[in-house]
Amino acid sequence: MKNPLDSLWGTVVLGAVLTVIFYFVVKALIGG
Partner 1 sequence: MDYVPAISRWIHLLAGVMWIGLLYYFNFVQVAALKAAQADSTAAGITKHVAPRALFYFRWAAVVTWLAGAALLGANFGNAFLLSPSHAAIGMGAWLGTIMLLNVWGIIWPNQKKILGIVQATDEEKNKARRRAFLASRFNVMLSMPMLFLMAAGGHSAIFFGA
* Chain residues that interact with partner 1, rule: CB under 8 A: 3, 5-6, 8, 11-12, 14-16, 18-19, 21-23, 25-27, 29-32
Measured distance CA(20)–CA(7) in Å, rounded: 20
- Which secondary-structure segment (H or E) carries 15? helix 8-30
- Shortest approach of partner 1 to residue 21 CB, angstroms? 8
- Shortest approach of partner 1 to residue 13 CB, angstroms? 9
Q: Find the length of the chain.
A: 32
- Shortest approach of partner 1 to residue 23 CB, angstroms? 7
